Structure 1
Amino acid sequence: MAEIRYLRAVNQALDDAMAADPSVVIFGEDVSEAGGSFGATRGLRDRYGAGRVRDTPISEATIAGAAVGAALSGLKPVIEIMFMDFTTLVMDAMVNQAAKARFMFGGQGAVPMVLRTPHGGGLGAGPQHSQCLEAWFAHVPGLKVVCPADPASAYGLLRAAIDDPDPVLVIENKALYAMKAETPEPLEFIPIGKAATVRSGRDVTIVSYGAAVKTACDAATRLAVDGIQAEVIDLRSLQPWDEAAVLASLTKTHRLVVVHEAVEAFGIGAEIVARMADVGFDELDGPIVRVGAPFMPVPFSKALETAYLPSADAVIRAVQRTLA
């Protein structure tokens, strides 16, 4: 085991992928000379040259469109969109082109590209630099979406995404970039579509992803003081998601809480709740409860942002509600 930061794990995944496959290229705003806004690509230009690690104009639509063309031409581009909010400008390339190519070309046109982007609050970045928009992309057939919650997942899911023949969005919560954790050495691929049980329990299942996994674990630790054993599942992959793992846990605990930082309405949690209410109805001994952000933009104010983000207290209240 070795301790590694989340951001370093991202950098290591990119480094290892580029070393293993010369068709892997990286481009985006400030990713080359500056090493990216958060430092995820730092040092890669020195090792692989400006031809494989390219700075681009400030045009997210151009970045995504060029990546689709590069992928169709035989490269494996990894693009960085500085904040997930700016993915509003990549929708045509990702939704109408990358996601549809395999279908439109009768299975003969793969688009092996990765879009990396940070989402989430906690840094006081305000309503245009803090949104969690993953549900938009998870709704689109042809796209895969992953959201790692720890350094090992950040490495493993990014390597799997780069190796995937189809377009994958890798969403990283920027509040996790400084996170340190013990990870296995060497770091390994993590298959897309497989959840992880990060804490076992018998009384209630808490399903989460990204930064909200720590919130769920904090709540589970506090619940244990009162004798309530919560099982915490980190989805890791949002599209496809591990329905079987969630159902297996629900079958054991008979109660379910879903937690995410994104706005609660029409979020990833809504899909999980709908499916479990269908396929897991006979296992339920209490209502399924969602915990998410309120239906409003992310505040700039630190105090308001703290109140806006889902908390361990909110998860505990949700667990108490389903147990009642």
Structure 2
Amino acid sequence: MKNTYVIMLFVVIMSCTSKEVNKSHIVDISSLKGIELNFIEYPIEPMLGNPYEIEYIEPYLIMDNLVDDKVLLIYNVNNDSYVNTLSVGNGPDDILFPIEIQVKDQEVYIMERQSGKCRKYLLSALLHDSVSNFKETMLSRSDRMAKTNDAYIGSGIYDSGMICIFNEESKVLKEVDIYPDYFDALKDSGRKYKLGQSRLCFNAKHNRLILAPLFLNSINIYSYQHNDLEKVDSLTIGKNLLKKRILENEGNVDIEGTDIYHCVDVCCSKDFFYVLYNGAKMEKKNDNTLMYILKLAMDGTLSKKYNVNSRIRNICVSEDDTKMYAILLNEDLDYVIAKTEL
């Protein structure tokens, strides 16, 4: 009788855990219980071009917005005032598009994705369209970047991996190979980066870096200490479709329409990461209106899952986890800025 009870208890426990979440693995994200989020649009659509990056320094939204030869839009959510700043061009104060935007305290970091040139501006200066006073760092071969307390973490095609750590004087401190082992079958470094490319976000309070891949099913969190990265944990979602193809085809693999578009964007508050997750096949990703936002603790634990019925492109969050802002496509297929309460 005792053995029968133990077996029945084991079956009940397994049936409750294996369907949705098993430790750090989500089998089917659509079946996982979530909280519905509704975004409310801001009435600034006429001033928007085709934005794809958004950051938040209270009370300002900072986004790329190529309109009238200006690349940056700073919008005050409290009074609806705004500033268009930073000109496109090759002049000493100009910026080449496209750009990567990061913020830290009252500073705004703009990186040219074509060149890896990164500039640090004071938000107070940009609000007055003062663009000549900046500190420049060269993040050679970087496509994306995250700012730490005393360095830069770039992602791109490097000699020894996908991650490169630079000091503020542009010196390479270390290259880090964070590709999964099965990527050894890929001999071309460009193909490795294409398949493994990720969105980055650094949490300065906890010294944590999150990498949220576009095409791989593993979201990875790293501890950053002494100019090096140590993996803390991973959260995997669904099946790893690319792994099998990479191993079977000896590395001759490209993204196909049936592959899953996993992570779209990532941001952080003081104590949590937020991952914008698509989950649709590549051939249907642009038509997908059911997306998810995953709230992760600094150790990788899934805290909450939000369901969003919107075509979201990019997100940012307030430091106290009360407000989230997004770039999204509305029902008229216009890009808009929207807000939700968490």
Q: Which TM-score tier does this pair reach, normalised by the shorter chain?
A: under 0.3
Higher helix content, 1 or 2: 1
The structure with more radius of gyration: 2
Q: Which has the higher contact order (CA 8 A, sep 6+)?
A: 1
Normalising by structure 2, we get a TM-score of 0.25
Higher strand content, 1 or 2: 2
Normalising by structure 1, we get a TM-score of 0.26
